[in-house]
Amino acid sequence: MTAVELTEDNVDEYRCFLTDDVAENILRKGFFAFAVTDDNENPVAGILLEIVGDIDSAARESSVKWIRIDSGEAAKELFKAYDSKMREKNVTVSRFSVSRRDHALEEEALKEHGFATKLTEGDVISVTLEQLHSMSIIGKEGEDDRIVPLSELSVREFNKAKMKYFNMGLHGICNDLEFLSVDFFEKDVSCCLQNGMNVDGMLLLHLTPSEMLILELMACIGKENTKLLPKMIRFSVLTAMLKYPGDTRVLIDRHNLASLLLSEYLLPEGFGMLQITGERREDSI
């Protein structure tokens, strides 16, 4: 068996094994991926990970975003490549979170390679557009002329705004926001709040190849932020309902106060997707 690192030159060879949703992330800044092939060159294992933090940071982390393992032997080759990348990138801790369902081999392999695992409610909730549309704020909140679709920003205006937010630490779940182009986001349903020459709010959604919407960033700054953020949500939901079926899934990561409050509004009793999560210290490997 052979492990290969996936790049722009070879990713299409493994796309069917990875799925398009995984493959689209491989070329993003800070993301790395490996595939293991058997003696017949058929893929039998793969992993996608993101590394965050400065190279000299004492808290540099790896986050496993996706993993598939079809055999124990494939797992050994996969983690040889993974361990080598952790040493190369000076990673101090690795974390993972995968769906509880259909991941028995993956969970066992992670345990065998030093990860402490547990079953927990994940940070991500999955709702439909119809559920979002049924929120009371959709009917209560009025319009605001300053809220416009992302498509109305020029590339220069978007780049300026994203760097402002990134430098403020407001990057949502996009650790690589500074490197993402405006085309990564759904420009018709994503929106921003324009105050003259300033962009004082951004709600950015990404449409995956499997046609799920992911809330990537939701932030509003200034004195009116608590009043205007619900109006931005309303704008994006109403626009999305005109473009996509009501049963379109929307993924919301509860990573900050705004997304947590939104998720509690939608699902007051929790019900995040059950996940197998865990971590290991790389300095102990």
Mean pLDDT of 263-285: 70
Q: What CATH number did the domain enclosing 78 receive?
A: 3.40.630.30
The pTM score is 0.89
Mean pLDDT of 112-132: 85
Examine the domain organization and report whether 75 and 105 are in the same domain: yes
Examine the domain organization and report whether 131 and 197 are in the same domain: yes
Domain count, the chain: 2
User: Are the C-beta atoms of residues 171 and 50 closer than 8 Å to each other?
Assistant: no
Of these ranges, 24-28, 113-117, 122-126, 223-227, the one predicted with the greatest mean pLDDT is: 24-28
Examine the domain organization and report whether 113 and 131 are in the same domain: no
Examine the domain organization and report whether 87 and 195 are in the same domain: no
What is the reported pLDDT for 172? 92
d(CA 226, CA 55): 36
Long-range own/partner contacts, residues 261-269 (CB < 8 A, 24 or more apart) = 262/218, 262/233, 263/125, 265/135, 265/137, 266/125, 266/127, 266/131, 266/132, 266/135, 267/125, 267/127
Mean pLDDT of 124-131: 88
Instruction: Give the residue from 23, 262, 5, 227 showing the smallest Cα distance to 131.
Output: 262
Question: What is the number of alpha carbons within 13 Å of residue 3 lying toward its C-beta?
Answer: 19
- 31-76 pLDDT, tens digit per residue, is 999 999 998 899 999 999 999 987 666 678 999 999 999 988 999 9
3-state secondary structure 75-143: HHHHHHHHHHHHHHCCCCEEEEEEECCCCHHHHHHHHHCCCEEEEEECCEEEEEHHHHHCCHHHHHCCC
Q: What is the mean pLDDT of the chain?
A: 88
What is the reported pLDDT for 257? 65
Does residue 46 form part of some domain? Answer: yes
Examine the domain organization and report whether 94 and 114 are in the same domain: yes
Segments forming the whole domain that contains residue 10: 2-123+275-284
Does residue 261 form part of some domain? Answer: no
User: Is pLDDT above 60 for 129?
Assistant: yes
User: Is pLDDT above 90 for 278?
Assistant: no
User: Is pLDDT above 60 for 268?
Assistant: no
